[in-house]
Structure 1
Amino acid sequence: MSLIFGDQPSEDEMNQNEAIKDNNNTVDDNNAANFEWEYAMRRQMQQIVPNLWLGPYAAALKTKEEELCRVGITHIVCVRQDIESHWIRPNFPSKYKYLCLDIADTPTQQIIPHFPVVSRFIDECFQERGAVLIHGNAGISRSAALVIAYIMEKQNLTANQAIRVVQSKRFCIFPNEGFRQQLQEYEPILQARGIPLASSGGVKRSFSEEDSENMDTNQI
């Protein structure tokens, strides 16, 4: 079974949308599922579920401090490969709690071992009534895979269903082939841990703000 991604517009189409609607450069707190995606939004972070944000490194730059404060970010997951650490690095080490992960965006990279680490970090953030941003370089492959895995676990969803949830908020996500395969392999791992997954028909339930504030860490 292959993972399904919606048809994405061409680069020219997205550039046209950006030229027409580039006057909206602020993050939408409500982030409704049926928004119209704009190319410029790739450079912003989006709220996937309450208090869980996904975006590119550009969203965590020093110039974005005001925006990070405005949405209440307290924790940041910084995903990069060792060779990228010179330019993808924590910019607010004294202000936010960071989790830095060494993950290459290659099909042979093992990402499953990082899923429970990120899950515990997010749960810790939620227990402290905080909000977390997960970013890599572009916010498309590595960081997206980590968020998808978390949604699978907490919403009891299959990989395909979790991808739809994340893509409904950040349309440009596209984990590499190896990560997509590992997300499928994560399904039986979750089931072996006693986490039932919804049937492939649809989303079992939505993730509410109360979920983020009252996360059951015994599930980890």
Structure 2
Amino acid sequence: MVEDLYERVKELTDERSPYNTPCVLDLQRALVGERLEAPTNAVDEVWPNIYIAEKSVAVNKARLKRMGITHVLNVAHGTGVYTGATFYTGMGVQYLGIEVDDFPDCDIAQHFRTTAEFMDEALLTHKGKILVNSMMGISRSAILVASYLMIFQNMSILEALTAIRKKLGGKYVTFLMGKGFTTCLSHWSHY
């Protein structure tokens, strides 16, 4: 099914986009369709050793330890998920917190490079496991993981978003409905 969606958007891309990148609406239609269900799990592995999660997972030290999490990227630092480096003291967890409000006009692109480098360093240097969290573990978390896949795994925007959706087991997620974030990622992918 995911492969069919990929082909459907790829067909649209050739006709509509001068940059050979699908427009945001095409991405949303192909990956979400008519269903607007949120993820049912509090945490999901969306790429090997990269997990997206909601707040409840990020503040549960015992769960993080059981999962073997070595790095936490808090996308809602100071805006709803009040953890920090000191919160994880004694756990051997490295922390990066960024403040990204969950609003369509928020410029999340300014964080793409920094967060992607944090994830890449964790995976390559430390052989780590990364938890990327926000309040609900949907829009902001998924878009930052997509930017990592584009920067360090050399994926197109469609390949990155499709890879995330595929790892979610076919669940229809609303991260693509965060139109401001998807638009930001789409514009950024042109550069």
Same fold (TM over 0.5): yes
> How far apart are 1:52 and its partner, in Å?
1.0
Bigger helix fraction: 2
Percentage of pairs with the same residue: 27
Query: Which residue, 114, 117, 120 being the options, matches 1:117?
Result: 114
Tell me: higher relative CO, structure 1 or 2? Use CA pairs within 8 A at least 6 residues apart. 2
Change (3 A) 1:10 1:106: closer
Which residue of the partner structure matches residue 183 of structure 1? 185
Query: Which residue, 65, 68, 84 being the options, matches 1:69?
Result: 65
**Letter aligned with residue 124 of structure 1:** E
Which residue of the partner structure matches residue 158 of structure 1? 156
Runs of 4+ in structure 1 over 6 Å off:
none
Matches within 5 A, 1:92-107: 92-95=88-91, 96-107=93-104
Change (3 A) 1:72 1:110: same
**Letter aligned with residue 174 of structure 1:** F
- In 2, distance between residues paired with 1:178 and 1:100? 21
> How far apart are 1:178 and its partner, in Å?
1.1
**Letter aligned with residue 120 of structure 1:** E
Q: Contact (CA 8 Å) 1:75, 1:130: kept in 2 or not?
A: yes
Change (3 A) 1:182 1:154: same
Number of equivalences: 157
Change (3 A) 1:125 1:83: closer
TM-score by length of 1: 0.64
CA RMSD, Structure 1 to Structure 2 (Å): 2.2
TM-score by length of 2: 0.73
Matches within 5 A, 1:132-143: 132-143=130-141
Which residue of the partner structure matches residue 174 of structure 1? 175
Unaligned runs of 5+ in 2: 1-22
Change (3 A) 1:56 1:8: farther
- In 1, distance between residues paired with 2:90 and 2:146? 28
Matched, 1:88 2:85: no
**Letter aligned with residue 6 of structure 1:** V
CA deviations 1:58-107 (Å, max 9, x no partner) are 11123xx33322332100001116442xx532442442111010101111
> How far apart are 1:152 and its partner, in Å?
1.5
**Letter aligned with residue 79 of structure 1:** V
- In 2, distance between residues paired with 1:98 and 1:7? 35
**Letter aligned with residue 95 of structure 2:** Y
Q: Contact (CA 8 Å) 2:52, 2:142: kept in 1 or not?
A: yes
> How far apart are 1:159 and its partner, in Å?
1.4
